Amino acid sequence: MRNPEIKDNWFIDKDSRDRWVYHRIKKNILSTKTKFQRVEFVDTYDLGRVVVLDDKIQSSDVDEFIYHEALVHPAMVVHPDPKIVLILGGGEGATLREILRYRSVEKVVMVDIDEEFVRLCKKYLKHWHHNSFNDKRVELVFTDAKEYIKNTRSRFDIIVADISDPLQEGQVRDLYTKDFYSAVKNRLLSDGLFVTHITGVFYASNDMSYASILKTLTDVFPFTDFYYEYIPSFSSLWGFAVASLKYSPRKLSPAAVDRRLKKRKLNSLSYYDTETHKRLFHLPKFLRSSLLKSPFSK
């Protein structure tokens, strides 16, 4: 992480061979290697505490609430009564934190392959997970997400994929395929929703771009909605998709969003509200044009 040509200590986030983003480190908190990945926690001057997995930024203090609220709430709000939720990944505990805000939720199964990483997050990211791991509604399962989906007989109202990017060399690419999405579909209840992030809108470094992932989702689900937000620690617009058997968050009226947020006592969110929901699904011209030119057509 140290560059001898630059004074002080810096983390370099290498988006591609053509774009590197430097972050000055205030303090190195932890650097270790689990069975599955290299884990680093660093305190930076611009982003606060940062989670780095295999040299890629995953979350940061200053904007984790943007990413996690954007990932969770559009799908949760459009469902009329979410009770049983599955989280794939989400080791930091922040996705879990957002799901547990819903009083209707009776059970959350969180599946993460890396038990040691979750243990480290419990210790070093308390201000993110808010002790969510100890909620009596939570069941933690440490196994591969693909194997869990394949073997479980449970069905869910909401399935959230908070997983790593589909890098060329990573096994996680299997979690962005038609086969996997078909298996996820079979684990949803008849009115269930699946939500996942779908990588950076601009800086796709391999064949699995946001548009290609959207195309895969539309091949499996009857309803697929794309939305995006700028995530400062990623230095990019970041794509998300909600895929559903019945509901479309894009079609949920502002009045309905407002009613549901008030009824569910979700007025204290930092990022997501009625105005945010409305904006998320109104795409600018260049993105609409990009999607029209891609295989994604719904």
In a domain? residue 1: no
Measure the CA–CA gap between 66 and 48, rounded to whole angstroms.
Answer: 15
Place of tokens 């609430």: 65
Percent of the chain with pLDDT over 70: 92
pLDDT for res 170: 61
Domain of residue 19, CATH code: 2.30.140.10
Instruction: Please check the confidence at residue 203 and state whether its pLDDT lies above 60.
Output: no
Q: What average pLDDT does range 124-144 have in this prediction?
A: 96
Token reading at 240: 């998300």
Work out the number of other CB atoms within 10 angstroms of the CB of residue 32.
12
Work out the number of other CB atoms within 10 angstroms of the CB of residue 211.
21
Residues 50 and 141 in one domain: no
Active site residue 114: no
Residues 126 and 268 in one domain: yes
Do 93 and 132 form a contact (C-beta atoms < 8 A)? yes
Distance between alpha carbon 202 and the CA centroid of its chain, in Å?
Answer: 17
Domain of residue 158, CATH code: 3.40.50.150
Task: Give the pLDDT band of residue 211 (cuts 50, 70, 90).
Answer: confident
Mean pLDDT of the chain: 91
Structural domain for 38, as ranges: 10-60
Percent of the chain with pLDDT over 90: 78
Residues 34 and 165 in one domain: no
Residues 164 and 289 in one domain: yes
Count of structural domains within the chain: 2
pLDDT for res 17: 81
Residues 38 and 122 in one domain: no
Instruction: Please check the confidence at residue 34 and state whether its pLDDT lies above 70.
Output: yes
pLDDT digits (tens, 9 = 90+) for 46-100: 999 999 999 999 999 999 999 999 999 999 999 999 999 999 999 999 999 999 9
**pTM check: above 0.85:** yes
Token reading at 187: 């684990």
In a domain? residue 3: no
In a domain? residue 4: no
pLDDT digits (tens, 9 = 90+) for 98-117: 999 999 999 999 999 999 99
Strand-pairing partners, residue 138, are 108
Measure the CA–CA gap between 71 and 231, rounded to whole angstroms.
Answer: 12
Place of tokens 């990022």: 271
Instruction: Please check the confidence at residue 282 and state whether its pLDDT lies above 80.
Output: yes
pLDDT digits (tens, 9 = 90+) for 16-31: 788 899 999 999 999 9
Is residue 240 classed as helix, strand or coil in its secondary structure? strand
Out of 15, 112, 114, 162, the active site residue is 162
pLDDT for res 289: 78
Task: Give the pLDDT band of residue 141 (cuts 50, 70, 90).
Answer: very high
Longest dimension (CA), the chain: 57
Nearest to 141 by CA among 205, 202, 87, 183: 87
